[in-house]
């Protein structure tokens, strides 16, 4: 890929490495690798470079967000269980000042009450939830549309 239009860091939080095995009735039967491969295909067609990171550790996620400053144009993040609890991840996103899109496989607003509050939403450009693996694809497409509108 020559001179990508954007470099995007895709961050996946705790337990997402268990996709395909963990509660497939909620999260689907596809693996995280399946999702990353589909995202990559779409991103290549849009001349967007993706780097992927997954961790179950809040501290590692915060560190990776901090390392993104000056290296990435966008962040796509599925903070998973940290969505509802991590002020540290929220603060890191706010500190690096990189446009962020929050994604969720399930519609968090149709789930348990404690899952219906996102600490990340307030520092994100937008949130995409409830479309399964397509939530991630829609995030890549949103970045492409943002880039196209800024180029014209």
- Enzyme catalytic residues: 27, 104
Distance in angstroms (rounded) separating the CA atoms of residues 83 and 4: 30
DSSP 8-state assignment for residue 82: G
Q: Check: CB of residue 66 under 8 Å from CB of residue 98.
A: no
Spatial neighbors of 108 by CB under 8 A, at least 6 apart, are: 83, 115, 116, 118, 129, 130
């Amino acid at each position: 890929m020559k001179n990508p239009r954007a470099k995007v860091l895709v961050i996946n939080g705790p337990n997402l490495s268990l996709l395909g095995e963990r509660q497939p009735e909620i999260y689907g039967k596809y693996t995280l690798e399946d999702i990353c491969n589909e995202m990559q295909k779409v991103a290549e067609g849009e001349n967007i470079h993706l780097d992927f990171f997954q961790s179950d550790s809040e501290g590692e996620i915060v560190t990776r967000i901090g390392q993104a400053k000056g290296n990435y144009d966008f962040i796509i993040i599925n903070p998973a269980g940290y969505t509802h609890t991590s002020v540290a991840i929220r603060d890191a996103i706010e500190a690096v000042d990189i446009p962020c899109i929050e994604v969720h496989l399930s519609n968090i607003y149709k789930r348990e009450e404690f899952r219906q509050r996102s600490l990340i939403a307030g520092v994100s450009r937008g949130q995409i939830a409830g479309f399964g693996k397509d939530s991630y694809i829609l995030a890549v497409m949103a970045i492409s549309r943002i880039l196209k509108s800024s180029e014209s």
